Amino acid sequence: MKNVNYKLYLVTDRDVIGNRSFLECIEEALKGGVSILQLREKKISSLEFYDLALDAKKLTEKYDVPLIINDRVDIALAIDADGVHVGQEDLPVKVVRKIIGDAKILGVSVTNLEEAKRAIEDGADYLGVGAVFPTVTKKDANFTGIELLREIREKYSIPVVAIGGINEGNIEKLNGLCDGAAIISGILGQKDIKKAAEKINSKLIWIK
């Protein structure tokens, strides 16, 4: 599955979901128009991640959106996910591509042009770029601003997903600069998750 709609890209975070049901929250977001889901889990055992990913896959299949696994290539293989997303502290892009083959989606987080160039050369299908806005969710995230989106757009044709601090209030600043917006707390941190997803989706007017 390589014909991917990156428009409304949801990244999970247990901390912003709090004590609500993880899977119910994901499903609300999918009902609200999320077009691609990334499972990002850092603190659970491999078995818990595997079980969660199997459950998430049932949902993404139901709503016919791709499921991407953050960092853990083995979990992606184990559940036959649609793809993997790696950062600069994860397995090297070339190595991941070799393990997952050409059919699976490979996304790479970059925070400068040099990393973007290398990711593309090494086999990335899309880039995650940010933080485009100040963020509280991922405290260690480098701030790139939206300027890097513009620079990557000028130089490369690879799909770009903006990430970091994106919400209803600032999303229009991304107009024309990306193929998708990755949201965490802007959706999962909201009381009405479905409505939050719908609102953000409706503002991504430059993406089909």
Can you give the binding site for a second copy, defined by CB under 8 A?
45-48, 50, 71-75, 77-78, 86, 88-92, 95-96, 99
Residue 11 tokens read as: 């990244």
- Helices H, strands E: what count in the chain? 9, 8
Of residues 88 and 170, the one with the C-beta less far from a second copy: 88
Asked if residue 147 belongs to a known ligand binding site, the reply is no
**Minimum gap (Å) between residue 121 Cβ and a second copy:** 18
Of 40, 117, 118, 203, which is the active-site residue?
40
d(CA 78, CA 22): 21
Concatenated DSSP letters of 58-121? HHHHHTT--EEEES-HHHHHHHT-SEEEE-TTSS-HHHHHHHH-SSSEEEEEESSHHHHHHHHH
Cis peptide, bond prior to residue 131, ω within 30 of zero:
yes
Beta bridge partners of 162: 129, 181
Catalytic residue list contains 72: no
Asked if residue 137 belongs to a known ligand binding site, the reply is yes
Of residues 59 and 77, the one with the C-beta less far from a second copy: 77
Catalytic residue list contains 109: yes
Of 72, 97, 109, 199, which is the active-site residue?
109
Asked if residue 138 belongs to a known ligand binding site, the reply is yes
Of residues 95 and 158, the one with the C-beta less far from a second copy: 95
Asked if residue 71 belongs to a known ligand binding site, the reply is yes
Cα radius of gyration rounded to whole Å, the chain: 16
Catalytic residue list contains 138: yes
Of 7, 57, 97, 138, which is the active-site residue?
138
Among 91, 44, 93, 35, CA closest to 68 = 35
**Minimum gap (Å) between residue 189 Cβ and a second copy:** 25
Q: Residues at the annotated binding site for Mg(2+)?
A: 71, 90
Q: Which residues form the catalytic set?
A: 40, 109, 138
Q: Residues at the annotated binding site?
A: 38-42, 70-71, 90, 109, 135-138, 165, 184-185
